[in-house]
Amino acid sequence: MRFISLFLVIVLIVGCSYRKETVVGQTRSPIDPEKVEVYLIYFEHKEPSKYEVIGLVSVSSTGITQQGAKDSCIAELKKQAAKLGANGVLVYHPAETRMSSVSGYSRGFLWNFPIAEGWISGTAIFVRQENEKED
């Protein structure tokens, strides 16, 4: 029973995330997060030629590995941007991560579970096609 309780605590910790958005432009109808393009400006991606800034989005998430935490952060970033109606996110800095762990001692056993924490922020944008008119 203790192991099941411990497992549930770890699942809850690993599943925690933080989300914040600040609207600075005009929001649009929410879209499918899969349609949101992430522009990694720090990785030689170029900004789209025509876009409107909708807002700033920041998220944090956890995972078992650092890559898992980064992937989870990008997925959360896309969800937050999609809620604002953005079809793109400009990311100027890579996701930050750090490792920590949950440890304990029970019935003669020492246990330790690694947890990776990650956070990232970006600018939610609406990218216009070259031939698309402004509202």
In this prediction, residue 58 carries a pLDDT of 94
What is the residue-level pLDDT of the chain in tens, covering all 135 positions? 555 455 545 544 445 556 677 888 899 999 999 999 999 988 777 889 899 999 999 999 888 888 988 999 999 999 999 999 999 999 998 888 888 888 888 888 888 888 888 999 999 999 988 766 665
What is the domain partition of the chain in residue ranges?
A: 2-127
Give the closest residue to 118 by CA, choosing from 41, 56, 63.
63
Q: Is 96 helix (H, G, I), strand (E, B) or coil?
A: strand
* CA–CA distance, 131 with 121 (Å, rounded to integer): 30
* CA–CA distance, 125 with 102 (Å, rounded to integer): 38
In this prediction, residue 24 carries a pLDDT of 86
Measured between alpha carbons, how far is residue 114 from residues 3, 43, 59, 67, 83 in Å?
16, 28, 20, 13, 31
Domain 2-127 part of CATH 3.30.110.70: yes
In this prediction, residue 35 carries a pLDDT of 96
35 with 82: CB under 8 angstroms? yes
